[in-house]
A and B are shown apart, each in its own frame.
Chain A
Amino acid sequence: MAKITFIEHNNIEHVAEFEAGTTLMQLAVTNAVPGIDGDCGGECACGTCHMIVDQQWFDKTGEIADDEEQMLSMTPERAGTSRLGCQVKITEAMDGMRVYLPEFQM
């Protein structure tokens, strides 16, 4: 099974097995990864699914659309490889990816 590792701000790791087609937010929520709320259910409307993708994997996560960029620009712990988890569709190429979680969400 392909896996993605979520790392909390206190370095606790959560390994989640995935099937391509869901989003990073859904994967985190269905695996009870703490700190990812996903309150709007993936509508890019709440900003509670902020994640920071490991630099090496960032180019696998696809383009950031303008609306996502606007939401991200106001997230408190914005980093160069920040994404809204609900806007990243998981592909097979993400097997082994590492994703860091901020301390706070919106």
Chain B
Amino acid sequence: MANKSQQVTVIVGGGHAAGALLAALLQGRYPHEVVLVGEEPHPPYQRPPLSKHYLAGEVEQESLYLKPRSLYDNAGYQLRLGVRVEQIDRDSKTVKLSDHSMIRYDHLVLATGSQVRRLTSPGAELKGIYYLHDIADADALREALVPGKRLVIVGGGFVGLEVAASAVKKGVSVTVLEAAERLMQRVTGPEMSAFFCARHRDAGVEVRLDTGVTGFETGDHGRVAGVRLANGDTVPADIVLVSIGVIPDTALAEAAGLACDGGILVDEFTRTDDPAILAIGDCTRHRNLFFEDRLRLESVANAVDQARTAAAILMGEDKPYDSVPWFWSNQYDIRLQMVGLSQGHDQRVMRGSPADKGFAVFYLRDGRVIAVDAVNLPIAFMVGKQLVQRRQAVSPDVLSDPHTDLKSLL
């Protein structure tokens, strides 16, 4: 692109949110200078396959990339990869990089994402203990997952369970340890938790609920040999995956004095309290018009929707971010699609049952649908998205009656 004006937009972080922002700027033919600074050596890529098809060895690394690098180059957008932004100086509007260079910005977009939560219990530094957040982690874990090895997964959330499904398929012996009384407790209702627990056990995964971890046993050569439990037991292990959630990466923003509270605080336009700085994706806690509360979400949908909102702001258009949150997960032949947030529901309604090819749970509050979890039943997810968006009141009998056409509710 010729004739660029002197305006410079700097994007900090090169994950899914940053990639979606670049894509939206490309699509809108954003004419200004854009520089993305990303710590990882890769152009922006998708993380979801890291615990699914990529871990299983079914797709190549290149297919994770959101766009081929040449597209950014052709548009004149600069990708500075393998470099960190170390500091933001808001007065001079410059960022300082780990290679000691400086870049001046007119607009700064923080897309620093999240970092995995780490265990600090005794033995947590042993070899053979893995985390899963980026391509390098997935490559290392994939190599370690050799048939016959014993993998113990600490944490029964999405990432842990997806890895369990991928690993058991490879012939690895898998145990999942979950501290809560059911799987995925933070994000789904008891029916879904029970369904997933049963499917994992059917597949040969040992699932232990109400099971806290206190530390790790040391084996030969500084390798982990087992996981120590709160009840005094030890579970033998060759490989351990710790997947106990993520923490928003707000260090840079906090050091620069931006308002943060469990995430960089942004409004529905992705604006921070500095007019020159936007923030998007996992690192933010945003004002959500839909939920009337500040929310922090860890999902692709949130990353791309906020990225599109930020792109609109950069291109001079104010389009608030007001999408209903949604999420998906794949485990075995199960496709789970979730929409809305089920916290605070006062009623759950099942449509179909786990014995059927597909089923769904509708979460209601005051008679209105606030969330839907659908298993192999995309229509419930799609209709649910509309019901949640409209806060529509629906009679539970209608939702559970297999003879009602869900589409007729709209």
Which chain A residues have a beta carbon within 8 Å of chain B's beta carbons? 26, 29-30, 32, 34, 37, 39-41, 43-47, 67, 70-71, 73-74, 106
With contacts A41-B49, A43-B328, A43-B335 known, is A30 near B68, CB below 8 A?
A: yes
Q: SS class of chain A's interface: helix, strand, loop or mixed?
A: loop
**Known contacts A45-B337, A70-B378, then 18 further A-B pairs from the complex at CB < 8 Å, ordered by chain A residue:** A26-B63, A29-B67, A32-B27, A32-B67, A34-B27, A39-B301, A40-B300, A41-B46, A41-B48, A41-B49, A43-B48, A44-B378, A45-B335, A45-B378, A70-B379, A73-B379, A73-B407, A74-B379
Interface residues of B in 2-32 (CB under 8 A from A): 23, 26-27
Contacts of A45 in B (CB 8 A): 328, 335, 337, 378
Q: Check B335–A44 contact: CB distance below 8 A.
A: yes
Which chain B residues have a beta carbon within 8 Å of chain A's beta carbons? 23, 26-27, 46, 48-49, 63, 66-68, 71, 300-301, 304, 326, 328, 330, 335, 337, 376-379, 382-383, 386, 407
Q: In this complex, what residue of B is CB-closest to A22? A: B63
Bound together, the chains give a CA A59 to CA B328 distance in angstroms of 30
- Interchain nearest-CB distance for A8 vs B (Å): 11
Q: Check B300–A39 contact: CB distance below 8 A.
A: yes
Q: SS class of chain B's interface: helix, strand, loop or mixed?
A: helix
Q: Check A71–B382 contact: CB distance below 8 A.
A: yes
- Interchain nearest-CB distance for B280 vs A (Å): 15
**Can you spell out 6 A-B residue pairs with CB atoms less than 8 angstroms apart?**
A32-B26, A37-B304, A43-B335, A67-B376, A70-B378, A71-B379
Contacts of A44 in B (CB 8 A): 335, 378
Q: Check B300–A74 contact: CB distance below 8 A.
A: no
Bound together, the chains give a CA A34 to CA B308 distance in angstroms of 13
Partner of A47, one of B63, B68, B382: B382
Q: Check B330–A43 contact: CB distance below 8 A.
A: yes
Bound together, the chains give a CA A104 to CA B26 distance in angstroms of 18
Q: Check A32–B335 contact: CB distance below 8 A.
A: no
Contacts of A34 in B (CB 8 A): 27
Bound together, the chains give a CA A32 to CA B377 distance in angstroms of 31
Contacts of B23 in A (CB 8 A): 32, 37
Bound together, the chains give a CA A52 to CA B165 distance in angstroms of 35
Contacts of A74 in B (CB 8 A): 379, 382-383, 386, 407
Bound together, the chains give a CA A70 to CA B335 distance in angstroms of 13
- Interchain nearest-CB distance for A101 vs B (Å): 12
Contacts of B383 in A (CB 8 A): 74
Among B66, B71, B326, B379, max chain A CB count under 10 A is at B379
- Interchain nearest-CB distance for B102 vs A (Å): 31
Contacts of A106 in B (CB 8 A): 382
- Interchain nearest-CB distance for B51 vs A (Å): 13
Q: Check A46–B328 contact: CB distance below 8 A.
A: yes
Contacts of A26 in B (CB 8 A): 63
Shortest Cβ-Cβ A-B pairs, 4 listed: A74-B382, A45-B328, A70-B378, A70-B379
Bound together, the chains give a CA A73 to CA B407 distance in angstroms of 9
- Interchain nearest-CB distance for A62 vs B (Å): 18
- Interchain nearest-CB distance for B300 vs A (Å): 6
Bound together, the chains give a CA A30 to CA B68 distance in angstroms of 6
Q: Check A32–B300 contact: CB distance below 8 A.
A: no
Bound together, the chains give a CA A41 to CA B304 distance in angstroms of 12
Bound together, the chains give a CA A34 to CA B71 distance in angstroms of 13
Bound together, the chains give a CA A106 to CA B339 distance in angstroms of 13
- Interchain nearest-CB distance for B391 vs A (Å): 18
Contacts of B67 in A (CB 8 A): 29-30, 32
Contacts of B328 in A (CB 8 A): 40, 43, 45-46
Q: In this complex, what residue of A is CB-closest to B63? A: A26
Q: In this complex, what residue of A is CB-closest to B66? A: A29
- Interchain nearest-CB distance for A81 vs B (Å): 20
- Interchain nearest-CB distance for B67 vs A (Å): 6
Q: Check B71–A32 contact: CB distance below 8 A.
A: yes
Contacts of B48 in A (CB 8 A): 40-41, 43
Contacts of B337 in A (CB 8 A): 45
Bound together, the chains give a CA A74 to CA B374 distance in angstroms of 15
Contacts of A40 in B (CB 8 A): 48, 300, 328
Bound together, the chains give a CA A44 to CA B376 distance in angstroms of 11
Contacts of B326 in A (CB 8 A): 46
- Interchain nearest-CB distance for B155 vs A (Å): 22
Contacts of B386 in A (CB 8 A): 74
Bound together, the chains give a CA A70 to CA B71 distance in angstroms of 33
Q: Check B335–A67 contact: CB distance below 8 A.
A: yes
Bound together, the chains give a CA A93 to CA B301 distance in angstroms of 34
Bound together, the chains give a CA A37 to CA B307 distance in angstroms of 12
- Interchain nearest-CB distance for B20 vs A (Å): 8
Contacts of B378 in A (CB 8 A): 44-45, 67, 70-71
